[in-house]
Structure 1
Amino acid sequence: METVVGIDVSKNRLDVAIIPHGDAFAVGNDDAGINALIGRLKAIGADAVALEATGGFETQAVAGLSSAGLTVLVVNPGQVRAYANAIGRRAKTDPIDAAVIAAFVLATKPEIRPLRDAETQALSELVARRRQIVQMIVAEENRLRMILAKQAQKSIKRLLTALRRELASLDADLDGHIRKSPIWKVRETLLVSVPGVGPTTARTLLAELPELGSLDRRQIASLAGLAPWTRQSGTWKGKSFIGGGRGKVRAVLFMAALVASRHNPALKAFRDRLVAQGKPKIVATVATMRKLLTILNAIIRGKKPWQSA
């Protein structure tokens, strides 16, 4: 039987459960704790180590474990909780969660995908920081339109100046980061050759969807959360939905699809045809997102820029 390790991650602690050994223990979520954990897991010959995506607290552990040569999986917390409910594990504590994570991996055997390397992780963090700065700029611009007091307006304008300066600095950092890797530079050039895809979309895809070009169209759509799933029972059939996958990728593809629906002749014709057939506009937009992702996937695989029909 495989030896599977489940780890429940919190800010300061890693709760560990090992199947089938039945061992359960905790270490610190720091260099000393992670190094001690690596030693124990290598000693027992762990086949897979699974952690939930926890918004960043898992990053240090994932980096340390994977660099030590262990097979690491980052699993979806929603799927793990659904599995826990299905097997009747209503109680929720850190040791129980660790055991459920290990059992989930053993039962479902999720596909093991290559983890992002340090350079890709750094690019992802820069892209995320740029997105945060843009959100702050939008929020301050909205406040400026609402406020009447001159002193408050001056304060907002000073902050906007600083934020725009920081945005320009981040863009320069991103340019430098892309230039470091000839492969990334080539891929960015290929992606932005498609009308509707700008540098922000291209860099988000490079950071958040490194599998682009290595999977088929159905797999890449599923990874991005754009593969439709239906609800059906007997003769009843509900509406199709999309969900799951990588939300950051889906967000940039939504904006890119809106732009492409106006400026990319092929995608504009595709969306207009769906609307003319009676499809709701949001459904047509989602279909355009999926079509755009398929095109980008093919472009990266074929290493050939966009060519208009």
Structure 2
Amino acid sequence: MHCIGVDVSKQELVTFDGKVERVFPNDRGLPEFRRFVKRAEDAFIVFEPTSTYSRRLETFCRMQRILCCQLNPRIVPHLRQVGRGRSKTDSTDAELLYRYGIERGHGEASELSHDPLSEAIQARLACYRVAQKARVAYQGLHEALENDPATARTLLSELKREIVALKDKEQLYLVAAQRIVEEDERMGRRLDALLSIPGIGPITALTLLALFRKSPGATRSQIVALAGLDPIQFQSGTSVHGKTRISKRGNRELRKRLYQATLSAARYNPTVKALHRRL
């Protein structure tokens, strides 16, 4: 395989293939990068998923059925330290990704899966989170200004209207996500099953449903790792015994939803409540 390490930024892709460093624009369709990869025989790409910035590269790899190794962004700093603490630049990161691919990436490389239903749910939930974050910020601002006698009443009224509008948007995105699921009879039944669990609300249920669709063959331990809830031990000989903690190297949103659902279940779900008390 022809390994290509790719460091993704907002405007460009910096690549390293073991010989030459190249820079390509991170524009729609990645035409220049496409021509470069087409010339390489049996290529596979190693990169860090960076949400919005890497979306085009992910789409390109999925559509072209190119093997990829998506490296957790938390790993690269450790690779840099192993490489004698080299400076962080786009070119050095591309080289680090390439070297990881040569050493270990072949066994981890796979084609990116595409599930329209899961992606549609995640898109609506992302819009929901943005609207919710904006509403909370407006509510905090309203509470602060409300206690200031110098604040004009018209401004407070405008903020109240904005808060109500954002609440409506939150509900709109949530209902849209549920409707997308309900259009698929099988997924609709699964959503109902998740919602029947005490402590699981619509947001958590939709988040879990998207996860199960994206990773259909995942085991229990793999789901725990995907959420970043797997335990990490710190122990060396007889003198070093660090406190065991969760890795937090998985999906932050999934971990947040599961945590909130657990808090609710510890209060209202008799089985979980008994387990919580025992622990």
- The residue aligned with 2:61 is 65
Counterparts of 2:262 and 2:114 in 1: how far apart (Å)? 26
Equivalent position amino acid for 2:23 in 1: A
1:215 and 2:218 equivalent? yes
Q: Aligned to 2:131, which of 130, 133, 139?
A: 133
Counterparts of 2:98 and 2:213 in 1: how far apart (Å)? 26
1:113-135 CA distances to partner (integer Å, 9 max, x unpaired)? 64343442332121011012122
Counterparts of 2:234 and 2:120 in 1: how far apart (Å)? 39
- The residue aligned with 2:86 is 90
**Are 1:5 and 1:46, in contact at CA under 8 Å, matched by a contact in 2?**
no
**Within-5 A mapping of 1:138-287:** 138-146=136-144, 147-148=146-147, 149=151, 150-208=153-211, 210-211=213-214, 214-235=217-238, 236-242=240-246, 243-274=248-279
Equivalent position amino acid for 2:189 in 1: V
How many residues get paired?
270
Counterparts of 2:101 and 2:194 in 1: how far apart (Å)? 35
- The residue aligned with 2:4 is 5
- The residue aligned with 1:16 is 15
Equivalent position amino acid for 1:26 in 2: V
Counterparts of 2:198 and 2:41 in 1: how far apart (Å)? 50
Q: Which runs of 4+ in 1 moved over 6 A?
A: none
Secondary structure class of the residue paired with 1:4: strand
1:120-165 CA distances to partner (integer Å, 9 max, x unpaired)? 2332121011012122222323333332332332121111121122
1:73-127 CA distances to partner (integer Å, 9 max, x unpaired)? 3221220121121122512222221111121233233634643434423321210
Counterparts of 1:106 and 1:224 in 2: how far apart (Å)? 28
**Are 2:11 and 2:26, in contact at CA under 8 Å, matched by a contact in 1?**
yes
Task: Give structure 1 stretches of 5+ with no counterpart.
Answer: 275-309
Query: Which is further off, 263-272 or 111-120?
Result: 111-120
Secondary structure class of the residue paired with 1:31: coil
Counterparts of 2:242 and 2:31 in 1: how far apart (Å)? 50
Secondary structure class of the residue paired with 1:77: coil
Secondary structure class of the residue paired with 2:249: coil
1:39 and 2:35 equivalent? yes
Q: Quick one: percent identity of the two aligned structures? A: 27
Counterparts of 2:218 and 2:51 in 1: how far apart (Å)? 26
RMSD: 2.1
1:1-43 CA distances to partner (integer Å, 9 max, x unpaired)? x321111111111111114xx23212111135x2332333233
**Within-5 A mapping of 1:268-307:** 268-274=273-279
Question: How far off is 1:68 after superposition?
Answer: 0.8
What TM-score does the superposition give when structure 1 sets the normalisation length?
0.80
Question: How far off is 1:209 after superposition?
Answer: 5.5
Over 3 Å counting, the alpha-carbon distance change for 1:181 and 1:99 in structure 2 is farther
What TM-score does the superposition give when structure 2 sets the normalisation length?
0.88
Counterparts of 1:57 and 1:270 in 2: how far apart (Å)? 42
**Are 1:15 and 1:25, in contact at CA under 8 Å, matched by a contact in 2?**
yes
Query: Which is further off, 150-159 or 228-237?
Result: 150-159
- The residue aligned with 1:102 is 98
Task: Give structure 2 stretches of 5+ with no counterpart.
Answer: none
- The residue aligned with 1:120 is 118
